[in-house]
């Protein structure tokens, strides 16, 4: 319950960022001013240190599809074997797309025993922008990594709709294991991907038939656990792409069972319990 209360508080901060840092501000600000304004609103009176050893952000320089831009977060990048008790371990990451109408794309809470060192997802990018990943470590310090992406129109790009004919229904959750990248890796270290069937409508997309804007509806909370141990949780916004997809690594606690719960902004809840599927 405490974890979910924390995520609810984070969601409130995300909403504040959207109100205080509007598109009108972005149009009149330089990239440096945009980021400074975001820092002042989201991390007031805190110091952010650039350090690629704690957090490293990976993005393409130019997006093939502005509605499906791949983003990779590397935590404790140069020392993935850092002890779980080390105060420099990352416990939370805030992903910020500076020039998007809603800059905070997602906040990731990492389980204290999960040892997550990588999360990959896909985001919408509305215009050429810097993207920042801000990591908070166990000792409360903040570290930041920056990237730049050239793209346009991702937030208004039409989605595939709620239920594609013959496809899985809204809220269908899929879970699959991934073959380890390194043969000699720790046998306990696993990799998996979670996908949720959902349009993640932004509120900026227009219905081609009615010429009315489609109301915003997106996954705002996701929690992935192994047994009773949290792997990671996400508080999401409109910048996460349609059919939210998260690929991640984690340290197995011996349980083959995963629990996945999610909820969208309409109050609909989704869940899946089961073993990790075959590795791809």
| pLDDT for 184 | 54
- The 8 Å CB, 24+ separation contacts for 7-15 are 7/107, 7/109, 7/221, 7/233, 7/235, 10/107, 10/235, 11/220, 11/221, 11/235, 13/42, 13/104, 14/102, 14/104, 14/107, 14/235, 14/237
| pLDDT for 158 | 85
- The band of 52, judged by pLDDT with boundaries at 50, 70 and 90, is confident
Q: What is the pTM of this model?
A: 0.87
First-to-last alpha carbon distance for the chain, in angstroms, is 34
Contact (CB, 8 A) for 94 and 172 = no
Looking at CATH, the fold of the domain delimited by 2-275 is given as Immunoglobulin-like (2.60.40)
Instruction: Give the mean model confidence (pLDDT) for residues 140-151.
Output: 96
Contact (CB, 8 A) for 177 and 190 = yes
Domain range list for the chain: 2-275
Number of neighbouring beta carbons within 10 Å of residue 118: 19
- Going from the C-alpha of 165 to that of each of 59, 160, 206, the distances in angstroms are 32, 10, 20
Instruction: Give the mean model confidence (pLDDT) for residues 147-173.
Output: 83
Separation of alpha carbons 25 and 233, rounded Å:
30
Asked which of 10-19, 162-171, 209-218, 220-229 is least confident by mean pLDDT, the reply is 10-19
Separation of alpha carbons 45 and 32, rounded Å:
18
pLDDT of 19 strictly over 60: no
Query: Beta-strand (E) ranges in 48-154?
Result: 48-50, 55-58, 69-75, 90-97, 104-110, 118-123, 129-137, 142-149
- Could you give phi then psi for residue 29, rounded to 5 degrees? -115, 145
| pLDDT for 31 | 66
pLDDT of 34 strictly over 70: yes
- The band of 191, judged by pLDDT with boundaries at 50, 70 and 90, is very high
């Amino acid at each position: 319950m405490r974890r979910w209360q924390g995520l609810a508080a984070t969601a409130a901060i995300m909403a504040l960022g959207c109100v205080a840092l509007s598109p009108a501000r972005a149009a009149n600000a330089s990239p440096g001013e945009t980021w400074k304004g975001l820092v002042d609103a989201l991390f007031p009176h805190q110091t952010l240190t650039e350090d690629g050893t704690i957090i490293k952000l990976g993005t393409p320089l130019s997006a093939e599809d502005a509605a499906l831009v791949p983003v990779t977060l590397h935590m404790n990048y140069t020392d993935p074997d850092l002890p779980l008790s080390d105060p420099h371990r990352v416990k939370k990451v805030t992903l910020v797309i500076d020039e998007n109408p809603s800059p905070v794309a997602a906040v990731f809470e990492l389980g204290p025993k999960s040892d997550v060192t990588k999360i990959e997802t896909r985001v919408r990018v509305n215009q050429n922008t810097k993207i920042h990943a801000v990591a908070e470590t166990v000792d409360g310090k903040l570290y930041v990594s920056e990237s730049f992406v050239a793209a346009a129109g991702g937030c208004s790009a039409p989605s595939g709709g709620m239920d594609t004919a013959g496809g899985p229904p809204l809220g269908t959750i899929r879970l699959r294991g991934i073959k380890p990248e390194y043969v000699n890796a720790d046998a306990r270290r696993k990799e998996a991907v979670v996908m949720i069937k959902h349009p993640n409508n932004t509120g900026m997309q227009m219905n081609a038939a009615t010429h009315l804007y489609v109301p915003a509806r997106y996954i705002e909370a996701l929690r992935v656990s192994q047994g009773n141990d949290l792997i990671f949780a996400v508080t999401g916004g409109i910048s996460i792409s349609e059919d939210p997809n998260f690929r991640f690594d984690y340290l197995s606690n011996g349980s083959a069972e995963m629990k996945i719960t999610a909820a969208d902004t309409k109050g609909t809840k989704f869940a899946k319990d089961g073993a990790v599927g075959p590795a791809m």
